[in-house]
Amino acid sequence: MAPIARLAMAVLLFSATFINAAPTATTVDNDAHIAGFSRAVSQAAPGVKLVYKCTVPNTMAITFDDGPFEYTADLVKLFNKKKAKATFFINGSNNGKITDYAAAVKQAYLDGHQIASHTWDHGDLATMNAEQITAEMTKLDVAIKKIIGVSPTYMRPPYGSINDLVTKTIGAKYTIGGGGDVDDYKKSLKVYTDKVKKANGKPGEIVLQHETIKLTAQELAPRAIDYAQKMGWKLVTVGECLGKSKDTWYRK
């Protein structure tokens, strides 16, 4: 089976989940590029279903983009200590190289956290041709498989940016949502706690953070976990919060 056919089959097993910023927010993605929710919606292909939240009651998913990085291992230990799960949307070569942090990625996987794709080098897929899009996806798939033995079926496009060609090339329907990007500690902790309060037992948010930001990894993440658990939420992977079994998160 050709590489692109394998990719299409894998992604079609389950819709990849993309979370960007809230409709009124503008966020910094990769500490350099501006990613607004309106852009993600405007560039979504026709028929794309937008998913903003979990579907399983009393669950919430905290996700991290742009790693792996020097804080990944500590985040894994933090979530393990708190008996919570996280989802890591990783790159192959962005802030750091995946090979430099392979041990942290493997440990996250072994500990039951979800490893997902954020493309090889964080390029804007909507500006690429089919060959380039395929390379962004398959190169990372190969690298992840070398580390954990499987490739992810979930991914999040950098900047929330996709178009018809991206959807056609990868061969999947994408779910793009805005559970909220919370990296600005002073503003975001309040935004986060407000969202938790408003959910009130209903399916919770899919929260986007960046593991490359020191303040997020060392200050915001611990407080976010503590507050959610205090309010009675179960912090799970994206796959779990959408009611999907672990065997759908990856392909061999």
Active site members: 65, 210
Q: What is the dihedral of CA 77, 241, 90, 251, to 10 degrees?
A: 110
Instruction: Determine which helix (DSSP H) or strand (DSSP E) holds 22, and give its type and residue range.
Output: none
Nearest to 178 by CA among 6, 2, 44, 3: 44
Whether residue 242 contacts residue 98, with contact meaning beta carbons closer than 8 Å, is answered with no
- Cβ atoms of residues 66 and 101 within 8 Å: no
Euclidean distance between CA atoms 171 and 161, whole angstroms = 16
Cα separation, 121 vs 64, whole angstroms: 16
